[in-house]
Amino acid sequence: MQIVHGRAGRPVEQRGATFTGVVWGDPVLPSTDGTTVNSVTFTPGARTYWHHHERGQLLVVTAGSGWVCPHGEEPQPITVGDVVWVPPGERHWHGAGRDSIMTHLATSLGTTTWLEEVAEAEYAAIDAGGAVK
Ligand code: MN
């Protein structure tokens, strides 16, 4: 068992190279036995690059609202309380809406492979309302 006390020694970090826009990450559980937990806050318009996770990723939206998008599909809206399971190897992006923040608790399993930036034209798919569910 490992108990992580508060945020001592692990300051919130601004994320850069694999994100578009201003994104803050709170390292809740530094990588342990292949599991990494971050509370990530996306400011309006901010999002990840395209990427995938070796053994999948669990997202729990804890504040605001935003979008998650599997490759080849329309973006899907997510809001507080929504839970997303991203299967191993599924290419996707996630981020805020244009006029909202979005904070999610992200539990990532295994390594994350980062790909190219989500182009503005791809992000603009949210303006059409995304996937009809
Ligand atoms: Mn992800």
How far apart are the CA of 4 and the centre of ligand 1, in A?
Answer: 23
Angle at 80 between CA 89 and CA 58, to 5 degrees: 20
Over the stretch 39-53, which tens digit does the pLDDT of each residue have? 999 999 999 999 999
Structural domain for 31, as ranges: 24-127
Neighbours of 81 (CB within 10 A): 8
Residue 3 lies in a domain: no
Share of the chain above pLDDT 90, in %: 79
Residue 58 lies in a domain: yes
Distance between CA 103 and CA 25 in Å, rounded? 9
Residue 133 lies in a domain: no
Number of domains in the chain: 1
pLDDT over threshold 60, residue 76? yes
Question: What does the pLDDT read at residue 14?
Answer: 84
CATH number, domain with residue 92: 2.60.120.10
How far apart are the CA of 22 and the centre of ligand 1, in A?
Answer: 17
How far apart are the CA of 12 and the centre of ligand 1, in A?
Answer: 19
Over the stretch 28-40, which tens digit does the pLDDT of each residue have? 888 899 999 999 9
How far apart are the CA of 32 and the centre of ligand 1, in A?
Answer: 18
Residue 66 lies in a domain: yes
Over the stretch 4-32, which tens digit does the pLDDT of each residue have? 776 656 777 888 889 999 999 998 888 89
How far apart are the CA of 52 and the centre of ligand 1, in A?
Answer: 6
How far apart are the CA of 51 and the centre of ligand 1, in A?
Answer: 6
Distance between CA 132 and CA 91 in Å, rounded? 20
Residue 2 lies in a domain: no
- List beta partners, residue 24: 14, 41
Question: What does the pLDDT read at residue 12?
Answer: 79
How far apart are the CA of 92 and the centre of ligand 1, in A?
Answer: 6
How far apart are the CA of 93 and the centre of ligand 1, in A?
Answer: 6
Over the stretch 77-126, which tens digit does the pLDDT of each residue have? 999 999 999 999 999 999 999 999 999 999 999 999 999 999 999 999 99
Count of all residues that appear for the chain in the document: 133
